[in-house]
C-alpha cells in the first residue's frame, strides 16, 4: 500500500474514532464511498438475508459501531479504507442526512428554500459537510420513534435523504474525487432536531385509500398492518408500530386498529406504556388526537 494510502487510512480511522466518541456509529469506506468490507455471503449459491447475525464482518451499515475496539477491528480488516460512513437512524442521535446536489442543473438549495417557505419551516444551525462535487450534507436528528426512509429526489430534484439503513460519508474521508470536510462554522455544532414540518415531508407518502361499497380491502389492509407489527424483532418493535399506526391513521383506520396494534405490540415484548406512547406519537404526527 502506498504511503499516501496508509496516511489516508490512519486519518480516516482517527476521524471515525472521534465520531464514535460522539455516539455516531461508523463503518470503514473505500475510495468509491462504498463499504470497504465485502459481504461474507457474496459467494453463497443461495444466500439468506443476514444483517450480521452470522457474526462475520461485511454487512455494510449493519456493522456500524461506536465501540472504539470494534471500530479498530473494522478498520484492521479493511486496511485499504480511506474514509468512513456514519449510520443514520440509530440511537442516540437518530441521524437524518439531507444531501443537496448543488450543481447548477439541479438547484437543490433553491428547491429546499422553496419547500421551507411553502411549509413554514427553517433549517436550524447544524452540522454541514461539504462534498468534493460541491454538494452539502445537512445533519439533522429525528425522534426515536420515527423511521425516516432513504429516498432519492422524492423531496425535490437534487435532494436525497439518508435515513434508516443508510449512511453519510463522514468529514475527513477521502474518495476518488476528493475530501469531505466540515463547513466553516459548523464543526462545533451538534446535529439539530429536524423541523416537524420537514419531518412529515420525509416520511413515506400516505397510500391513496379508495372507498368501496365493501369494507373488505380496508379490513385486509388493517390486518396486514397488525401482522407487520406482530412480526417485529427486537430493535424494530417501536419503529414498526409507529409506521403501521401512521399508515392506519392516514387511511382512516386509526381508531379501529388501535386495540389490535396495541395487542400486536405487546406480543413483541413492548410494555403497554411504551406501546401506548408510540401510538399517541403516531396520532399526533398525522394530525389526529391520541
Please check whether residue 169 lies inside any domain of the structure: yes
Give the DSSP letter of residue 199. H
Q: Is 71 in the same domain as 96?
A: no
Q: Is 92 in the same domain as 193?
A: yes
Confidence of residue 1 (pLDDT cuts 50, 70, 90): very low
* Residue-level pLDDT at 162: 96
**Nearest 5°: phi and psi at 174?**
-120, 135
Mean pLDDT confidence for 274-280 = 86
Please check whether residue 210 lies inside any domain of the structure: no
C-alpha 49/C-alpha 131 separation (Å) is 32
* Residue-level pLDDT at 108: 80
Q: Is 77 in the same domain as 97?
A: no
Nearest to 144 by CA among 89, 75, 74: 89
Please check whether residue 290 lies inside any domain of the structure: no
Farthest CA pair distance, the chain: 72
Please check whether residue 43 lies inside any domain of the structure: yes
Domain termination residue (choose one: 203, 226, 245):
203
Q: Is 92 in the same domain as 191?
A: yes
Q: Is 60 in the same domain as 140?
A: no
Q: Is 150 in the same domain as 193?
A: yes
C-alpha 237/C-alpha 286 separation (Å) is 19
Q: Is 242 in the same domain as 277?
A: yes
Nearest to 75 by CA among 87, 65, 62: 65
Domain termination residue (choose one: 85, 107, 134):
85
Q: Is 105 in the same domain as 179?
A: yes
Q: Is 77 in the same domain as 136?
A: no
Domain span including residue 9? 1-85
Reported as a single tens digit per residue, the pLDDT across 50-85 is 888 888 999 999 999 999 999 999 999 999 999 999
Strand bridging mode 136-141 / 95-100: antiparallel
Confidence of residue 100 (pLDDT cuts 50, 70, 90): very high
Domain termination residue (choose one: 85, 107, 140):
85
The domain total for the chain is 3
Q: Is 129 in the same domain as 174?
A: yes
Mean pLDDT confidence for 7-33 = 96
C-alpha 242/C-alpha 264 separation (Å) is 12
Q: Which are the contacts of 262, defined by CB distance < 8 A and separation ≥ 6?
A: 272, 275, 276, 279
**Strand ranges in the chain using DSSP code E only, listed in sequence order:** 26-29, 83-87, 95-100, 128-130, 136-141, 151-156, 159-162, 167-169, 174-175, 178-179, 181-182, 192-193
Reported as a single tens digit per residue, the pLDDT across 179-194 is 999 999 999 999 999 9
Q: Is 119 in the same domain as 178?
A: yes
C-alpha 163/C-alpha 241 separation (Å) is 17
Q: Please give the angle made by the CA atoms of 60, 63 and 173, to the nearest 5 degrees.
A: 65
Q: Is 97 in the same domain as 75?
A: no
Residues present in the chain in total: 290
Check if the beta carbon of residue 24 is closer than 8 Å to that of residue 168: no
CATH of the domain at 151: 3.30.2250.10
Amino acid at each position: 500500500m502506498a504511503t499516501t494510502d496508509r496516511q489516508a487510512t490512519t486519518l480516516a480511522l482517527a476521524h471515525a474514532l472521534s465520531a464514535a466518541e460522539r455516539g455516531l456509529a461508523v463503518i470503514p469506506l473505500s475510495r468509491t464511498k462504498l463499504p470497504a468490507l465485502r459481504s461474507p455471503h457474496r459467494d453463497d449459491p443461495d444466500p439468506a438475508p443476514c444483517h450480521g447475525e452470522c457474526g462475520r464482518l461485511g454487512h455494510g451499515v449493519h456493522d456500524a459501531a461506536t465501540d472504539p475496539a470494534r471500530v479498530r477491528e473494522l478498520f484492521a480488516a479493511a486496511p485499504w479504507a480511506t474514509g468512513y460512513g456514519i449510520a443514520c437512524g440509530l440511537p442516540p442521535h437518530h441521524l437524518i442526512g439531507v444531501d443537496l446536489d448543488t450543481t447548477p442543473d439541479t438547484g437543490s438549495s433553491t428547491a429546499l428554500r422553496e419547500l421551507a417557505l411553502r411549509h413554514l419551516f427553517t433549517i436550524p444551525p447544524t452540522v454541514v459537510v461539504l462534498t468534493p462535487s460541491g454538494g452539502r450534507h445537512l445533519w439533522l436528528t429525528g425522534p426515536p420513534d420515527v423511521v425516516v426512509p432513504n429516498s432519492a429526489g422524492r423531496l425535490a430534484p437534487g435532494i436525497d435523504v439518508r435515513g434508516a439503513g443508510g449512511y453519510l460519508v463522514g468529514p475527513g474521508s477521502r474518495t476518488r474525487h476528493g475530501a469531505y470536510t466540515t463547513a466553516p462554522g459548523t464543526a462545533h455544532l451538534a446535529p439539530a432536531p429536524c423541523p416537524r414540518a420537514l419531518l412529515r415531508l420525509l416520511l413515506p407518502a400516505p397510500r391513496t385509500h379508495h372507498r368501496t361499497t365493501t369494507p373488505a380491502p380496508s379490513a385486509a389492509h388493517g390486518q396486514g398492518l397488525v401482522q407487520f407489527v406482530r412480526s417485529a424483532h427486537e430493535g424494530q418493535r417501536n419503529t414498526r408500530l409507529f409506521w403501521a399506526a401512521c399508515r392506519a391513521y392516514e387511511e382512516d383506520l386509526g381508531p379501529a386498529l388501535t386495540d389490535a396494534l396495541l395487542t400486536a405490540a405487546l406480543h413483541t415484548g413492548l410494555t403497554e406504556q411504551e406501546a401506548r406512547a408510540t401510538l399517541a406519537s403516531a396520532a399526533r404526527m398525522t394530525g389526529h388526537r391520541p
